[in-house]
Structures are given as C-alpha cells and as structure tokens.
Amino acid sequence: MSAHGTVSCANSRVCASSPDTASVQRDGQRRGTFRALRHRNYRLFFLGQMVSVVGSWVQLTALMWLAFHLTGTSRWPALVAAAQLIPGFLLGAWGGALADRRDERGYVRVDDQLRVAGETNVFAVGGVSDADRDMAGIASRQAALVAANIRTLITGEGELQSWETMPWMIAIPLGPEGGAGLLGDGVADAATISGLKGRDMGMGHFQTLFNAGVAA
C-alpha cells in the first residue's frame, strides 16, 4: 500500500482480478453490520419491528396532521409529537431505579433486615430475594424474621432483626426411617434426617402452623 493509502501492485494481471483492500474492508463491514440477520428469530423480530415502527410513524404523522387541520396552528402538531416522549421522560428514571432493585441474576436486592433496597416498609424473602440460597427452610425462616420485623415497625417496640446467612444443609431421606445429611455442624444420621424430613416430608410443621388435622 502506498503512503496515500492506495494499493500498489507489482503484477497487474493478478491485481486486475483481485479486490483491493478497501473493497474487501467494505464487504466485511457490510457483512458485519447485517450478520444478525442470519438468525431466523432476529429476522422475524426485525421484520416485525419494521411493520410496527412504520405503523407508529404513520399514526404520529396522521395525529399531527389532524392537530394542524383542527387548530390551524403549528404549535399543536409540535405538542402532539412532544407528548409521545412524556411517558418515557417521566417513567424512565423511575423504571431505571426499579431495575436497579434487582441484581444481575434477577434477585431482588435486600438489606440485612430483608428490606428491599431503598425501601422502609417493603420486604422480600425466599426465592425472590438475594439474601441467601434458594431453599424452602430458608424461605420459612426469613418469613418469620420479616413477620417479627413488621411487628417491630408497627409497634415501635424492640429492635429490627438481621438475617444471618444459613450454613449449608442437605437432607436426603430414604423412606420414612432412613437417610443421611449434612446440617451445618456436621453429618446427620438417619434418625435426625427422618425426624426432620423423611417421616412426614415436613408436613407436621405446617399442620401445626395452620392448626390442620392429619390428612387421611
């Protein structure tokens, strides 16, 4: 390539049939720009967007035309166009703040007391919150803590409680009497695991909680 960016060529017959560097680059850029269209789902989305966006613009043009036709002043078409932006302008910042409430995995961010980040009276527990792992036992304990915290907020008595990350727990029952597990402080034997889970799959706790009789 010369100092001016043009391609010089020692063999004119080869060069005559070879694309110069600039056209190869242009070709590459063109293919790069449209390479998303190789995917069927994106092509469908792209075509759908074309129809949708054209429809939106035709609608806006018609509305501005109507505004001018009815009022005879150029101010109203401008106001109609500006009105399209108002929802995004007003709700954009709020929507962004709302999106920030969730972490990159989609869990709702909570503080130590399981309050949704930036909120005083809104709590999140269990599968939606980023406080701990996704486990039924953890969700139940968090619910109890939040109930206590709400009571404290209402009555003004006592201190708000903080959530402490639970140690790892694995309980694998084998029938109603067998099984093994790991309960934070060490390996749990069959009697412990069956008492915790295998014998009634945890239903006893809920029967007591809801004052429900034993199912037939």
Binding site for ligand FAD (CB under 6 A): 126-127, 134-137, 139
At its nearest, how many Å lie between ligand FAD and the CB of residue 135? 3
| Phi, psi at 187, each rounded to 5° | -70, 135
> For residues 63 and 139, which CB has a smaller minimum distance to ligand FAD in the complex?
139
> For residues 100 and 134, which CB has a smaller minimum distance to ligand FAD in the complex?
134
Which residues on adjacent β-strands are paired with residue 131? Answer: none
Identify which of 113, 135, 133, 134 has the alpha carbon closest to the alpha carbon of residue 124: 113
CB 199 within 8 A of CB 181: no
> For residues 139 and 182, which CB has a smaller minimum distance to ligand FAD in the complex?
139
At its nearest, how many Å lie between ligand FAD and the CB of residue 124? 9
Own/partner pairs for 115-122, CB < 8 Å, 24+ apart? Answer: 115/149, 120/153, 121/153
| Phi, psi at 183, each rounded to 5° | -115, 60
Q: How far apart are CA 29 and CA 205, in angstroms?
A: 64
Q: How far apart are CA 49 and CA 38, in angstroms?
A: 16
Q: Tokens standing for 111?
A: 């503080």
> For residues 63 and 102, which CB has a smaller minimum distance to ligand FAD in the complex?
102
CB-closest chain residue to ligand FAD: 126
At its nearest, how many Å lie between ligand FAD and the CB of residue 143? 8
> For residues 127 and 175, which CB has a smaller minimum distance to ligand FAD in the complex?
127
At its nearest, how many Å lie between ligand FAD and the CB of residue 164? 17
